[in-house]
């Protein structure tokens, strides 16, 4: 039976699931006999722990690694960089600095995603574990930055001021630091608090599961609820809401692809590629649509007295 906080099914059923890199190192140190099939040889092992379908490490047996997702991550970095530039140029827009922080966090997540899901580094290596831990920290911080933007949009504090930026940056760094530390502790057993899973085969870590699986979904839902209230109740507009609905739809599609179609695509492509590149396309498209939504509600045509209530 799979318990709350167990990664076993995810690491077996979901190709290129990056947090499995942490448990591979843990098993390699504490229970190497549980690593079988493709995972038995670190030099060629794909991302995952005993995955049903996985892309062999790049450079081994003619493999190019997760080349499709690596290309998409590279293109996505260009797209997000352009969004950061155009956001910076909208100097009078409400929440410009806060939204730019969110975009920067997503931009930073992409090179780490490229490496941690790309099957380019040897499984169990210290470098892969360290990069995966940092990646997990960035993802947790990214979703706080998303939720923080919604909170700032309520004008509970004035955007662009220290009263807005200091809490946003503080909690962004806090989520990053805590999640990164827990991730490294899971992999390296630095302490007994987040150390080896018991039993080892369960790949169990409740804090890591909450921060990398539950928290992102919860933050996204809260963000959508708050922005729905702002658009429909405060601004009393319909048009911007369609952007938020589209962004939410793209995000949901990315998760459905990652967790339901990923293995199907992997098997259909004989483990040459998997569905992670499609999920990345949807995620980047969702971020781009969020930019359009933000631009829509910060247009100069809005009545300032409506958006900035006294």
d(CA 254, CA 265): 14
User: What is the pLDDT at residue 152?
Assistant: 92
User: What is the pLDDT at residue 306?
Assistant: 44
Contact 142, 105 (CB under 8 A): yes
Contact 276, 69 (CB under 8 A): yes
- Cα Dmax for the chain: 66
d(CA 268, CA 40): 23
CA 2 to chain centroid = 23
User: What is the pLDDT at residue 191?
Assistant: 83
User: What is the pLDDT at residue 113?
Assistant: 97
pLDDT band at 298 (very low <50, low <70, confident <90, very high): confident
Cβ neighbours of 199 (radius 10 Å): 11
Which range has the worst mean pLDDT, 146-160, 192-206, 253-267? 192-206
Which range has the worst mean pLDDT, 73-77, 110-114, 186-190? 186-190
Taking only the tens place, the pLDDT of each residue in 1-37 is 568 999 999 999 999 999 999 999 999 888 888 999 8
Q: What percent of the chain has pLDDT over 90?
A: 79
Residue located via tokens 């039976």: 1
Q: Quick check: 114 pLDDT over 60?
A: yes
As a whole number, mean pLDDT of residues 131-141 equals 98
Which range has the worst mean pLDDT, 193-197, 217-221, 256-260? 193-197
Six token digits for residue 227:
């922005």
Q: Where in the chain are the domains?
A: 8-220
User: What is the pLDDT at residue 2?
Assistant: 63
| DSSP string over 153-193 | HTTSS-TTSHHHHHHHHHHHHHHHHHHHHHHHHHHH-SSSS
pTM over 0.95: no
Q: Quick check: 308 pLDDT over 60?
A: no
């Amino acid at each position: 039976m799979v318990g709350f906080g167990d990664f076993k099914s995810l690491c077996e059923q979901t190709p290129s699931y990056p947090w499995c890199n942490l448990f591979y190192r843990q098993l390699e140190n504490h229970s190497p006999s549980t690593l079988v099939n493709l995972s038995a040889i670190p030099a060629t092992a794909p991302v995952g722990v005993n995955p049903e379908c996985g892309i062999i490490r790049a450079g081994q047996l003619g493999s190019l690694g997760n080349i499709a997702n690596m290309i998409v991550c590279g293109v996505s970095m260009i797209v997000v960089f352009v969004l950061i530039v155009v956001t910076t140029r909208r100097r009078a827009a409400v929440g410009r600095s806060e939204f730019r922080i969110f975009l920067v966090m997503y931009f930073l997540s992409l090179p780490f995603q490229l490496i941690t899901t790309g099957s380019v580094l040897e499984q169990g290596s210290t470098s892969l574990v360290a990069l995966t831990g940092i990646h997990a920290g960035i993802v947790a911080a990214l979703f706080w930055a998303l939720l923080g933007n919604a909170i700032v949009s309520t004008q509970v504090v004035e955007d662009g001021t220290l009263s807005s930026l200091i809490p946003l940056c503080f909690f962004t760094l806090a989520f990053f630091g805590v999640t990164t530390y827990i991730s490294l502790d899971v992999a390296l057993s630095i302490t007994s608090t987040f150390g080896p899973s018991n039993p080892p085969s369960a790949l169990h870590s409740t804090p890591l599961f909450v921060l990398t699986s539950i928290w992102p979904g919860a933050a996204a839902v809260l963000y959508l609820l708050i922005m729905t209230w702002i658009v429909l109740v405060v601004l009393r507009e319909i048009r911007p809401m369609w952007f938020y609905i589209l962004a939410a739809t793209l995000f949901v599609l990315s998760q459905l692809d990652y967790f339901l179609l990923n293995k199907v695509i992997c098997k259909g492509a004989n483990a040459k590629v998997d569905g992670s590149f499609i999920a990345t396309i949807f995620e980047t498209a969702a971020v781009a649509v969020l930019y359009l939504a933000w631009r829509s509600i910060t247009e100069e045509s809005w009545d300032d007295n409506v958006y900035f209530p006294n």
